[in-house]
Amino acid sequence: MTTRRLVTYGFVILIAGVLAGVQLGGVMFGNDLAKSLRKVEDAFVLIAQRYVEDVDHEEMAEDAITGMLAALDPHSLYFDAERMRRETEQFDASFEGIGVSYNLIDGSEDQDTISVVTVLPGGPSEAAGLFTGDRIIAVDGTSSIGFNDEQVRSSLKGPRGSEVVVTIRRPGVPEPFDVQITRDQVPIVTLDIAYMMDDATGYIKLNRFARTTHSEFRRALRDLKARGMERLILDLRGNGGGYMSMAVRVSDEFLSDGQLIVSQKGRTADTNESYSATDGGLWEEGPVIVLVGPTSASASEIVAGALQDHDRALIVGKRTFGKGLVQNQFRLNDGSAMRVTVARYYTPSGRLIQTAYESGDRSAYLEEKREMQRHDGALALSDLLAEVPDSLKYRTSSGRTVIAGGGILPDYIVHEDTLDAFTRAILRGAHERDFVRQWLDLNGRATFDRFGDDLWAFTEGFEITDADLDDLYAFAQERDLLGPAEEAGGQIGRDEMDEPGLKALLKGRIARRLYDQSGWYPAFHPVDQTLKAATDLWGDATDLADSYTAR
C-alpha cells in the first residue's frame, strides 16, 4: 500500500490537531476531541518511525488535510503554498511581473515554446514593445524551450523594479532579438468590458469578484451613464465568484436602502450574518437584465439572487452552479491554507443557493449538477415550476414564484442552438486557437498596423473573409478533424460550416489576442444566442424596473 493511500485511509484528521495549536490555540476542547487528536498524533509518529519504508512527512500531512476536507463537502479545500500564492494574486487583482498572458506551443520532443497570447495594456511588456504572437525562446540568456508553466512563472514574475532580458523570435523577423523589461505591478482587471451596445443599452462583463471589482464597476456605471445609458445588461456568465463583500457592494448599486442582499447561517453565532443595501446606489431605477450560466457561482449567485428576489432585474440564461457555502480561510505555518465551510448563503426570499450533496462524493455532486442542466434544457420554465414541490417555491417582493433546489433558475431560460458538426470538431480540441495563432503569424502585424490600438475601429472595420474560412477548412483537413471520407455520411463538407458563427468566433479570438479580453465581446455578440434572447426581453425588464420604482 502506498504512503498516500495509507494516510488517506487511516490518518485523515491528523492536521486538526496541528490546527488546534496553530490557528485555534485559545479554544478549549472536550475530552473526546482531545482523546481523538492524541490517538491520531500517536499513529502519525508511529508510522513516521516504524513504517518499513521512509515516508515523506510533508506529503503525509498534505494528504491528511486533503482527505479530511474531502469527507466534509465539495468546497472545503486545501491549497499548498504555491497554489495559495496564485489564488491570492487572482483575488488581490494584481501581481508583479512582465505583464503578458501566454500559451505553451507544442514542439518536438515535448520541447514547448512560450507564445505571447496577450500583452496586458499598460504593463511592462507593452512599454518594452512585445507583441502578440512573439515567442520567448530565452530568459536572461538561458533557453526557455521546454519550460513548463511553473518554470515560466518563476522566470518571468519577480519583484517590482527588477529587470529581465527575454529573447524574442517574432514571425516575419529573420533573427531573434533581446528585449529588456523592467518588472512592475500588473493589475488583473475583473471587469472585462463596459460599452454601449447601442444608443440606449449598456453592457458590463464581470469575470470574478476580487478586491477591485466594486470600484471598477462603479467607474463603468458612471461612464455608461455619461454616454446616455438607459438600460443595462450585466453579464455574469463564467463568473465563478470571489469575495462575498464585493457581491454585496455590486448588488447595493441596484437596490434601495435597507433591502436584504444575502444572509448566511452557520452552526455558531459568529457565522450568522445578514447584509443589506445602503442608500445612494448608482443604478437603482433603470431596467436591468442579468445574464447567468452553469459556471456562474458563489458571489455571482448572490447578485443574481438578490436582484431576482427583489424584482429588480430580469435573470436570463441557464441555471447557475449552486455554490452557496461560506468558507473561512485558515493560513498554516508554511504558507498553505485551508478553506473550511462555516455557513450557508441564503437569498432574500430565503432560498438556499447551495445544491444538495453527499459528503465526500465530489464526482456525484458534479454529475448531479450536469444532470440538472440537462433536465432544465428539456423543459419550459412553466413545466419546471409545475414539477417543483411547494417546499422549494418562494416568493419575490412582488409575489412572483421563484424556486430553490440549487443555484438560481433564470426568469427566462435560453436553450441555445446546437452547434454544427464542423464547429464541434474545431472546438473539441480548441483548434480554432491554433488556427488563429497561425493566422496572426502571417497577418497580425499588418492588421495591428491598420487599426492600431483602436479596438472599435477593428470591431467595425475588420472582417473574416471566405478565403479565411477556406483556410480553416484546409487546416481541419490537415488535422484529420472532419472524419474519414469513406465512412457512412462522408467527411464534413465545406458547405456544412456555420459561416456567421465561425466568422464571429475567429474575429473574437483575433481581437482578444491583438488587444485584450475586451476584444472578444463586441466581435462575438452578434451571434451570442443568450444575449440576443435578452435583447428581446426589454419590455419585461422595463416593467420590472417601473414596478420596483413605484413601490
Residues that are catalytic = 298, 309, 323
Q: Write the DSSP symbol of residue 439.
A: H
| 127-161 exposure pattern, b = at least 16 Cβ within 10 A, e = fewer | ebebbbbbbbebbeeeebeebeeeebbebbbeeee
Query: What type of residue sits at position 199?
Result: D
3-state percent breakdown (helix, strand, coil) of the chain, nearest 5: 45, 20, 35
Q: Is 58 exposed, middle or buried (0-12, 13-18, 19+ CB in 10 A)?
A: exposed
Of 317, 323, 321, the C-alpha closest to 292 is 317
Radius of gyration of the chain (CA): 26
Residue 357: phi and psi, rounded to 5, are: -150, 155
Helix (H, G, I), strand (E, B) or coil at 455: helix
Q: Are 543 and 523 in contact (CB under 8 A)?
A: no
Helices (H), 393-537: 421-428, 431-451, 455-461, 466-478, 499-514, 520-524, 529-535
Q: What is the dihedral of CA 94, 220, 302, 83, to 10 degrees?
A: -10
| CA 245 from centre of chain | 18
Q: Please name which of 134, 237, 251 lies closest in space to residue 192, comparing C-alpha atoms.
A: 237
Separation of alpha carbons 507 and 22, rounded Å: 53
Residues forming a β-bridge with 94: 187
Asked whether 95 and 186 are in contact (CB, 8 A), the reply is: yes
CA-wise closest residue to 455 among 518, 549, 377: 518
Closest CA to 205 of 237, 183, 175: 237
Amino acid identity, residue 28? M
- CA 138-144-147 angle, to 5 degrees, is 160
**How distant, in Å, are the alpha carbons of 209, 235, 296 from that of 240?**
8, 12, 5
- DSSP symbol at 481: -
Single-letter residue type at 222: R
Three-class secondary structure of residue 322 per DSSP: coil
